[in-house]
Amino acid sequence: MGPKVVETIADLKASLSLNTGSEASVGFVPTMGALHKGHASLVTRARRENDLVVVSVFVNPTQFNDPRDLEKYPRTREADLEVLSKNGADVVWFPLFDEIYADAYRYQVQETELSRVLCGRSRPGHFTGMLSVVTKLLQLVRPSKAYFGEKDFQQLELVRGLVKSFFIPTDIVACETARDEAGLALSSRNARLSPTGLATARSFARELARDERNIATVRAALARLPLEIDYLEDLNGRRFAAVMIEGVRLIDNRPLAFIAKEISP
């Protein structure tokens, strides 16, 4: 038997009330669909750690600053349901736009520092849209734990700050970035690359992973690849990068291991 599929908020709440007791834990994985092994790993962990697993699939238009990017984003409902069924989801929620944004997006959740650097500089409004919808999803599901991948580390940090600032009683669980055999971070965007573009993306991932103290060396290596660098920056002990390859924007980040070595006693 596959997961219970719901769309309306009323059906979501009914499904949650039927499946959870007062002591039951709820694990929540919010997604935008086009699911891959990285998403599957989040669901698998949620299954391992909770009594009930809820997954949302919602291509949130308010976090796309480029309408063309929203238009190109893949919608793969049946394939997504197959992934979720195989990995233990109990409830799959496809939120309805008119319910999520019944206020026509007049009310928004904004952060004023971290959201303005890295991806926030080149994607104005992106993180406001993300934080606004995550707030709504967490309020409606009310999970014990919510699972986010470290590939979107800036998003992860913003969501951590969100639940702390607004006293939302959900533990945010960070999950290690899922990568392919060449070290490329798994992303639904990878499917839009040609074989040549995919090879470039894997070279990008390898260069970013180098334990290089001098970021200029990494920048020079990336400059030799057929890609456009949006940003390459070190922040709070991690190295972040965003690049454009064949018109597809990819992001990645790595912990700066050499910094950890320098501060170790």
Rounded percentage of the chain residues whose pLDDT exceeds 70: 95
Q: Which two tokens stand for residue 167?
A: 């006293």
CATH code for the domain defined by 4-175: 3.40.50.620
Does the domain at 188-263 match CATH 3.40.50.300? Answer given as: no
pLDDT in tens, 83-137: 999 999 999 999 999 999 999 999 999 999 999 999 999 999 999 999 999 999 9
Tokens of 112: 């004023």
One fold for 4-175 and 188-263: no
What pairs with residue 240 in β-bridges?
A: 233, 253
- Sheet strands (E) in the chain: 4-6, 26-31, 52-57, 91-93, 145-149, 171-175, 228-235, 238-245, 248-255
Are β-strands 52-57 and 26-31 bridged in parallel, bridged antiparallel, or unpaired? parallel
Catalytic choice (12, 35, 38, 39): 39
What average pLDDT does the segment 190-219 reach? 94
Q: Looking at residue 88, what is its pLDDT?
A: 96
Q: Is 126 tagged catalytic?
A: no
| Mean pLDDT within 187-193 | 94
10-44 pLDDT tens trace: 999 999 987 666 679 999 999 999 999 999 999 99
Residue ranges of domains in the chain: 4-175, 188-263
